[in-house]
Amino acid sequence: MNDVIYAAHTERLQTSIDDAVLHIRFNNPAKHNALTMDMWEGVPGLVRQAEKDDRVRLVVFSGVGDKSFISGADISQFDDLRAAKEAVKHYEQTAEGALQSILECAKPTIACIRGYCIGGGMNVAISCDIRVASTDALFSIPATRLGLGYRVSAMQNLVNLVGPGFAQDIFFTGRRLDAAEALRIGLVNRVAPPNELDALLKEYTSAIATGAPLTIRAGKRIVREVLKADGIDMDACRKLISDCFDSDDYAEGRRAFMEKRKPQFKGR
C-alpha cells in the first residue's frame, strides 16, 4: 500500500507501506545507490512522518536493485559539495541530521543489505537498530583512502556495535569485509542467501509489527541510555575532523578518487 503522505521530495528515495512497515529505498542504481545531497535531505522528513503515523510500527531501509545497499557518497558531487570549507560544513551537517534521525527514531529501524555497503552506507546501516544482510554483501569504510574527517557519532556507533578493536581494524585499513566476517564480529545480526533475504526480513518485520509498541519503544530508549558516553571533548574532536577536511591530503584523496588512482598522502 502506497500513501501519498510519504512521497519523498526526491525520486532517489522510494517509499511504500506494507503491513505496518514503512520501506525507504535508496534509488540511485546507476551509481550503486550512492548517496546524493537530496537523499540525505529527504530522510529526516520521512522518519518524522513515520514516528507520527500510528499505522507504522517500524522502518526498513534498503537499496533499489540487487547490487548495492549504498555504495558511499556520490563522488561526482564532491567538488561541488565537499571541496570548500562552507560546503563541507553544510554537507556534514545535512548527513549528520539524516543519520541522527535514523538513530533517534522512536520506532525500530532495520537495514536490509544486499551487495555494497560502503562508507555512508555503513553509516546508515549502523544507525539502524538491526541489520540483516545477504551472503553477497560487502562492507567497508574507506575514509583513510580519501583523507576525510570521520564524524564522531559514526565512530561511536561503530565502536558501540563491534567494539574498539574491530572498529579500528575496519577504519584504519579501509578493507572490505564479506558477510560472514561481518556476522562474526557483530556488524550484522543475521545473514541469508540472496533468495532468502526477503523471508529473513519478513521474519523480523512480522515479529516487531505484532509486538507491544510501548514495550519496544521503551526498550529502544533504554538501550540508548545504556550506551550513552559522558565526558567526550567534542571541541577537540571537531578540530581534528576539521583539520582533515582542510588538509592537502583531503584534496589529494578527492582527486585520486575521481581519477581512479591510488592517493599519495603527505600527512599535511
Residue 83 DSSP one-character state: S
Q: Contact, 29 vs 59, CB < 8 A? A: no
Residues 140-198: pLDDT tens digits? 999 988 887 788 889 999 999 999 999 999 999 999 999 999 999 999 999 999 999 99
Residues 7-19: pLDDT tens digits? 777 899 999 999 9
Residue 80 burial (CB < 10 Å; 0-12/13-18/19+)?
Answer: exposed
> In the chain, where are the structural domains located?
4-226
**Is pTM beyond 0.95 here?**
no
Q: What's the CATH architecture for 4-226?
A: Alpha-Beta Complex (3.90)
